[in-house]
Amino acid sequence: MTYPKNVKDFLSLIKYEDIKFIDVKLCDAFGQWHHLTYPAARFTTEYFSRGIPFDGSSMPWWRDIKESDMILIPDPTTAFVDPFFEEKTLSVICDAAHPGSKRGYVRDARVIARKALKVLKKTKVADMAYMGSEVEFFIFDKLTFINTPNQVGYEIDSTEGWWNTTKSKSEGRAGNEIPYWEGCYPVSPLDKTGQLRLEMAETLEKIGLTVEKAHHEGGTAGQSEIDFRYDNLLKSADNVMKYQYVLKNVGQLHQKHVSFMPKPMANECGSGMHCHFSLWKKGKNLFAGRGASGISRTALYAIGGILEHGRALTAFTNPSTNSYHRLIPGYHAPVYLTYSAKNRSAAIRIPSEDQPEARRIELRFPDPSANPYLAFTAILMAAIDGIKRKISPGRPFDRDTYRLTAEEKRRYTALPKSLSGALHALRDDSKFLQRGNVFSKDFLNLWIMEKEEEIETIQKIPHPKEFELYYYL
């Protein structure tokens, strides 16, 4: 299938593929897709030129009911034949805008990403930002939870789960479970999710993503990863949304639960969303150079900006209370804002690449609970600030950051240990995000307020572990 490059291609595709319905999708501030569906026969060029009316008050903290009228403007280049509708349906991602002026809505995450790319060009630092994401996830056979005044808890299960070694065959044991921490790259029968990953990868290819590899990840109980090719910042964020949509729906078809929670299981590695990032100008990779690991001074300044603003960034790259169960020592996730060429315990790694066009930096602290538009945009804004101010990242740290001495711990800045810490950092350090009004003060204040409410919700509920620790006191 040839994917559309413009409105004309989009309308031609409707006829060529005999499309019956158009499903328009929009992303809320928290990274969830919403959709409306229209008959394809009546989907004309006016839907692109005038926009599609919709109720903006129905989206989380978007518009008040007294000013709810908004429009959606479809981006024809995002279209794909949706594999999860029985009737042939073409899905397309939209931007939210004000009716009349068609000005992009400041609380729309996709509009925020577009504004950041415009700021990048205006600064003349670069004309394009590229992102590639490694999004990890778990495939569970069972996932239940309960939160009532008298009962709190959750239960997950997987035929791969090491805890199932205690069960008999009559109790449902499949055998060949994966030991804790030993889930990297096993073959079947240990890897029981391989065929499902292949179906996920095939479906991703059908909707336009280029899959580069798929494999089991380090955790027991179906932890997995499917990598797809990088793209410009906006398209890469679109692709993360498509990726999560496909994986959840393919899992549902097989009665599996696909979870992108950063830390769904105790005492196992969590799921990250490692972000590979580079800046380009006039077709040239600005991160390629002759410095250590083959990167440029521009790349070092970008690293400096990301490290300086790293604590504030986590409010968007790690935006859930669950995120900070992952960012702890010894679980393959960073805890200090350092960089290194090979050290995977560092917050930023410089992958080894022979080809100049492949030189990039890898941020290892983001996780898949993030809204990709907001996370990628915040990373870009921190890099721009580092380059404009020529912020030095200092010397690389090549030792295991989990084994820092007390003196070294005082020397290096730690990532926040909680969402509350991340919000405090964002409150104190947000000017770099407001360059060009990319993140408006209104948006930042609402984000902090909403996330503080999430924290308060968790604080009101006793943790099951507390009964073990304190019930008999």
What are the catalytic residues?
55, 134, 136, 217, 225, 274, 344, 362, 364
Q: Checking phi first, is residue 230 left (phi over 0); if not, alpha (psi -120 to 50) or beta? A: beta
In this structure, the chain runs to a length of 473
- Alpha carbon of residue 379 to chain centroid: 12
Query: In a 3-state reduction of DSSP, which class is residue 227?
Result: strand
Q: What is the dihedral of CA 347, 381, 231, 45, to 10 degrees?
A: 150
Query: In a 3-state reduction of DSSP, which class is residue 38?
Result: strand
8 A C-beta contact, residue 21 and residue 40: yes
β-bridge mates for residue 90, sequence order: 22, 81
The Cα–Cα gap between 278 and 362 comes to 9
> From the CB of residue 327, how many other CB atoms can be counted at a distance below 10 Å?
25
The Cα–Cα gap between 369 and 315 comes to 11
Query: In a 3-state reduction of DSSP, which class is residue 462?
Result: coil
Beta-sheet strands, E only, within 56-165:
69-74, 80-81, 89-97, 128-140, 142-148, 151-157
> From the CB of residue 363, how many other CB atoms can be counted at a distance below 10 Å?
28
Q: Which of 385, 379, 393, 392 is nearest to 346 (CA)?
A: 393
Q: At what angle do helices 297-308 and 372-389 cross, to 10 degrees?
A: 120
Query: Between the CA of residue 365 and those of 7, 311, 314, 323, 371, what are the distances in Å?
Result: 38, 11, 8, 10, 14
> From the CB of residue 280, how many other CB atoms can be counted at a distance below 10 Å?
17
CB under 8 Å to 137, separation ≥6 — which residues? Answer: 223, 224, 225, 247, 258, 259, 260, 271, 368
